[in-house]
Amino acid sequence: MPETQWTAADVGDQTGRTFIVTGANSGLGEVTALTLAGAGAQVILACRNVEKANVVAAEIGANATVRQLDLSDLASVRAFANSVDGVDVLINNAGVMALPLRRTADGFEMQIGTNHLGHFALTGLLFDKIRDRVVTMSSGLHAYGSIDLDDLNWEHRRYDRWRAYGQSKLANLMFTYELQRRLDAAGSSVRSVAAHPGYAATGLQAHTESIFDRLMSVGNRLIAQSAEMGALPGLFAATAPDAEGGRFYGPRGLGNLRGHPVKVGSTKKSKDEDVAAKLWTLSERLTGVTNFIT
């Protein structure tokens, strides 16, 4: 992408296009939905908390549709996917961060289950209906993660909430790269793109149920950029004609924590094609969503 300061004003006319934004009831998802709808798009707000999503939809108006989606429950993911006729861009935005150990409806560790496996299943179930691209939100904290293929769901290891979060965000990034490799092999025109918001002030940091909630509330005031700025890399990935499949976009500032979107790097682990292929196979087995790229 050119070395310019890309902003929401550069989203361009999205009239006639449909976007799904998971977790669009608050934070980055809310900003993303509002921006896309303001550019003329039809936006499906796919949210666990429908009551909060309805508030955002009311602000948007006729261009918004609210649908219930709980990524921590594969039955909900399937029901949502069955309700969608077609979509130009799927934005896998929803997520949880640094929670105490708990499990999804299907028995997965909550962070890998929601952030990765839920979105993996959603993408697979919607794949034949996606016309343009899949955008998956990761994090700079993917660097703190490792994929444990023998204990993805923390059934045998001592649980560490931050390592679990890092694993889930690394999985998001590896899924993006592996999806693009499979799209290329299939000759598909669909693009798989990753993005991260840097350090953006959102409600995500207020739900760790630990002292980190207080610490990060201070960081939000002193260090973080706004949710509006944090949403830009994802918006670029979702709308820019020159957003490249298999690439990662984030803020350009120091440490990729703040600033306008640019192409950014990722760890050596995120580019391990062998682990990525095995993670894909494991994700298929755990979710039951298989063979969606032919």
Which residues are designated catalytic? 165
DSSP secondary structure letters along 15-42: TT-EEEEETTTSHHHHHHHHHHHHTT-E
Helix, strand or coil, per DSSP, at residue 276: helix
CB atoms near residue 112 (< 10 Å): 27
Other beta carbons within 10 angstroms of residue 10's beta carbon come to 16
Which amino acid is residue 97, in one-letter code?
M
For 74-119, the three-class secondary structure string (H helix, E strand, C coil) is HHHHHHHHHCCCCEEEEEECCCCCCCCCCECCCCCEHHHHHHHHHH
Residue keyed to tokens 């755990």: 286
Buried b (16+ CB within 10 A) or exposed e, 142-152: bebbebeeeeb
DSSP label at 4? S
Measured between alpha carbons, how far is 13 from 113 in angstroms, rounded to an integer?
35
* Whole-number Å distance between alpha carbons of 271 and 267: 7
List, edge to edge, every strand of the sheet that includes 248-251.
Answer: 64-68, 42-47, 18-22, 87-92, 130-137, 191-195, 248-251, 261-263
